[in-house]
Chain A
Amino acid sequence: MRILRPIEVLGTLLKWPIEELGRIILLLSSVIKELFTPPLNIKNTLKQMFEIGVSSLPVVVITAVFTGMVLALQSYTGFKRFGAETLVGSVVALSMTRELGPVLTGLIVAGKAGASMAAELGTMRVTEQIDALETLATNPVKYLIVPRFLSGITMLPSLSVIADIIGIAGGYFVSVYLLGASSAVYMKRTWNYLELEDIYNGLIKSCFFGGAIALISCYKGFYTSGGAEGVGKATTGAVVLSCMTILISDYFLSAWLFK
């Protein structure tokens, strides 16, 4: 029997994440089912879009402008060594649209909106507000989760577009005003190498991240148990799992989209 022991340990270790994944997928299937069952709660959806989009906007803007700036600064120093300074514009544009815009916005929204979704739903669970919804013959998945899911998949791409533009502007500012690059050359390099495909593949990624953040955070909040401590755990769990999901799926999505 000692030979089987490692297999037993492996099984116990894998049981929990597989169960969790299963429950998330079940939740996703009921979210999708409710999403296509009218009526849609427009008031709640708009409210959530505002929560996710507007509340994260200042942090997204600040992060994007400094990321664009530091990208320009670092790649200028590197490229100068072999006389390729004029390519800074394309590096900033490609990195922002393909990678940094979607991923950084995703991480910010996971930390801000994801945490607040998990905490809000978790509190509603432990104070029996979710039970109360059910006693009022209201489906909590439809009332609470569908609006958050919809705003996740719409607002994250919107924030990403803003991050792309602001990041490129930050790179432009550093290159042209601080490093003395020519404005015309910088813009030309940006446009020459940037394809429309770069932008919309980036946006497909952020759509996916938005859905994942909303689903994971709602899942963690919805199945909270154990009072205030449980709400705290759910919130931390939501942020950690969302960020991990973003970073890991980013690799696979990039490999698949940018062939």
Chain B
Amino acid sequence: MIKIIDLNKSFGLNHVLRGVDLTVERGESMVVIGGSGSGKSVLIKHIIGLLRPDAGRVFVDGIDVFQLKEGELNELRRKFGMLFQGAALFDSLSVWENVGFGLMQHKKLSDKEIKEIAVEKLRMVGLVGVEDLMPSELSGGMRKRVGLARAICMEPEILLYDEPTTGLDPIMADAINDLIVDMKDKLNVTSVAITHDMKSAYKIADRIAMLYNGKIIEVGSPDEIRNSGNPIVQQFITGSASGPITIEGVRHEGDFHRA
């Protein structure tokens, strides 16, 4: 369904992706884990063609994303829904206009019909009676839900989640995880999520891939990752500050004594 081959991307001197290879099967839920600044967001933005790579390819259903002309790319994007980290709701539009944005742009429907569909999608993510509010009136968790409703409004085949639980309290985060699992069961979508929240990764993933130093260093089921022998993976999933992964600009206490 999605095949990423030898993806390379630099920003100035910062070589973020250094040959990423990853395959996501149809109907699968893939979670990419990795530290802050490891290039997870950059990776997910390449899948939907928001960024262009320096080298490498991305195939969606066998179509090379970066060979497409603008019109064809927009055609392909209709298969996708994406939930952004900060939800990225349009502040100048009301909640239902946000959710029904894709329909407004691409389908010939009356406002009344679009609003009905939007209300239905909002109900699917557990929101009732918010359709006429503006995004600025919503809490962080509600914004994410509206973002999710917008992502599923055009009935996509592929859902992309950019840090779906970041910035939410643990209970709201778990509710969002439940929703993501729910979306997969109800809509039968393929999904790619990026996160550094391991609890979320274990809950929503069929397979987990770890991105480190611009490469995928390990792919496996949640259990395989949990029992991985790779010290880098172990350090990340147990969340320890000491280990092979060094934090740039931060020296671990032990290093001081050694130095």
Rounded to whole angstroms, the CA-CA distance of A131 and B84 in the bound complex is 9
Number of residue pairs spanning A and B whose beta carbons lie under 8 angstroms apart: 54
A129 to B50, CA, bound (A): 12
Q: Which bucket holds chain B's interface residue count? A: 20 to 34
B79-130 interface (Cβ within 8 A of A): 80-82, 84-86, 88-91, 101-102, 105-106
- From A131, A132, A139, give the contact of B70 (CB < 8 A): A139
User: In the complex where A131-B45, A131-B50 touch, is A137 in contact with B86 (Cβ < 8 A)?
Assistant: no
**Shortest Cβ distance from A136 into B: residue:** B102
Q: Are A137 and B74 in contact (CB under 8 A)?
A: yes
Interchain CB contact under 8 A, B75 and A127: no
Question: In the complex, what residues of B have CB within 8 A of residue A197's CB?
Answer: none
A8 in the interface, Cβ–Cβ < 8 Å? no
Within 8 Å of chain B (Cβ to Cβ): is A128? yes
Judging by beta carbons under 8 Å apart, are B88 and A137 in contact? Answer: no
Q: Which of A120-167 contact B (CB under 8 A)?
A: 123-124, 127-129, 131-139, 143
B80, A135: Cβ atoms closer than 8 Å = yes
From B50, B105, B160, give the contact of A137 (CB < 8 A).
Answer: B105
**For A137, what are the chain B residues with a Cβ–Cβ distance below 8 Å?**
74-75, 77-78, 102, 105-106
Partner of A132 from the list B74, B75, B90 (CB cut-off 8 Å) is B90
**Cβ contacts under 8 Å, B74 to chain A:** 137-139
Tell me whether A132 and B78 are in contact (CB under 8 A): no
Interface size on A, residues (CB 8 A): 15
Residues of B within 8 A of A128 (CB): 84-86, 88
* Most interface-central of A129, A132, A138 (chain B CB within 10 A): A132
B105 A127 Cβ-Cβ under 8 A: no
Is the Cβ of A136 less than 8 Å from the Cβ of B75? no
Asked if A135 and B77 make an inter-chain contact with CB atoms under 8 angstroms apart, the answer reads: yes
Q: How far is the CB of A30 from chain B (nearest CB, A)?
A: 9
Chain A CB within 8 A of B225 CB: no
Interface check B48, CB cutoff 8 A = yes
Whether B50 pairs with A135 at a CB distance below 8 angstroms is yes
Interface residues of B in 154-176 (CB under 8 A from A): 154, 160
Q: What residue in chain B is nearest A120 (Cβ atoms)? A: B92
Closest to B74 in A: A137
User: CB distance B105 to A131 under 8 Å?
Assistant: no
User: CB-CB < 8 A to A127: which residues of B?
Assistant: 86, 88
**CB of A8, distance to nearest CB on chain B (Å):** 21
Q: Is the CB of A135 within 8 A of B82?
A: yes
Q: Which residues of B contact A135 (CB under 8 A)?
A: 48, 50, 77, 80-82, 160
Instruction: Note all chain B residues with C-beta closer than 8 A to A134.
Output: 48-50, 77
Contact of A131 with B102 in the complex, beta carbons under 8 Å: no
CA distance A246 to B184 in the complex (A): 55
Give the complex CA separation of A127 and B84 in angstroms: 9
Q: Which residue on B lies nearest to A37, using beta carbons? A: B71
> Nearest chain B CB to A31's CB is how many angstroms away?
14
Mask of A234-259 contacts with B, CB within 8 angstroms, 1/0: 00000000000000000000000000
A136 adjacent to B105 (CB under 8 Å): yes
In the assembled complex, the CB of B83 is this many whole angstroms from the nearest CB of chain A, namely 10
Query: How far apart sit A123 and B90, CA to CA, in the bound complex (Å)?
Result: 10
Given A137-B78, A139-B70, A139-B74, A132-B84 contact (CB < 8 Å): yes
Complex Cα–Cα for A127 and B89 (A): 9
Q: Flag if A136 contacts B88 (CB, 8 Å).
A: no
> How far is it, in angstroms, between the C-alpha of A123 and the C-alpha of B154 when the chains are bound?
26
Q: Evaluate contact between B88 and A132: CB separation under 8 angstroms.
A: yes
A131 CA / B47 CA spacing, docked (Å) = 13
> How far, in whole Å, are A136 and B84 apart by their CA atoms in the complex?
12
Task: Mark A92-106 against chain B: 1 for CB-CB distance below 8 A, else 0.
Answer: 000000000000000
Q: What residues on B are CB-neighbors of A129 within 8 Å?
A: 88-91
Chain B, 42-86, contact with A by CB distance < 8 Å: what is the 0/1 string?
000100111000000000000000000010001101101110111
| A residues less than 8 Å from B77 (CB atoms) | 134-137
- Report, nearest first, the 10 A-B pairs whose CB atoms are least far apart: A132-B88, A128-B88, A137-B74, A135-B82, A137-B77, A136-B102, A128-B84, A129-B88, A138-B105, A137-B78
Q: Show the binding face of A for B, using Cβ within 8 Å.
A: 123-124, 127-129, 131-139, 143
Instruction: Known A-B contacts: A124-B90, A138-B74. Give 7 more (CB < 8 A).
Output: A129-B90, A132-B88, A132-B89, A135-B81, A135-B160, A138-B105, A143-B105
**Sample of 19 A–B contacts (CB below 8 Å):** A127-B88, A128-B84, A131-B45, A131-B84, A131-B88, A132-B84, A132-B89, A133-B90, A134-B48, A134-B50, A135-B80, A135-B82, A136-B101, A136-B102, A137-B74, A137-B102, A137-B106, A138-B101, A139-B70
